[in-house]
Amino acid sequence: MSFASLALIAAIAVLGPLLALPRRWHLPVVLGELVGGIVLGSTGFGVLRPHNDTFTFLADIGFALVMFVAGSHVPVRDSRLRSALPVGLLRALGVAMARCTRCCWPRRPPH
C-alpha cells in the first residue's frame, strides 16, 4: 500500500466526523466514513483495494477498537444484566450445540 493510499484513508477518517458536526443534520459519525468507503472502494471508483494486507490490518485494528468501545459501555454491575446472564448462557449453549450437531455429527449414508 502506498503512502498516497494511506493518506487518503486518513483523510476519509478525518472527514467522516466532519459530517456529524452540524447538529441540525443529525448524522452519526460513522455514516461519513461508510460513504467514503463506498465511494472509494470497489463499489465506487475502485481507488482502494480491500484485499491489500495493510488495508486488512487497519480494518482489523478498527474493528477491535469498536469492540473495545462497545464493551466499555456494557453495565456489568447492573442487576438486570446479571439476572439475564443464565438465560443468555443457556441460549448460547443451545445454539452452539445445534450448530455442532448440524456440522460435526457423523452423517449416515442414505438408504
Kindly report the number of other CB atoms within 10 A of residue 109's CB atom. 4
Report angle CA 40, 46, 52 to the nearest 5 degrees.
95
pTM: 0.57
What ranges in 1-111 are assigned the alpha helix state H? 3-18, 29-40, 53-72, 79-103
**pLDDT tens digits, 15-66:** 878 877 777 878 787 888 888 888 888 888 988 888 888 888 988 998 999 8
Q: How far is CA 7 from CA 10, 46, 76, 83, in A?
A: 5, 16, 39, 48
- Alpha-carbon distances of 94 from 84, 85, 89, 100, 106, rounded to whole Å: 16, 14, 9, 10, 19
What pLDDT, on a 0 to 100 scale, did the predictor assign at position 49?
A: 82
Residue that has been written with the C-alpha cell 443534520 in this structure? 25
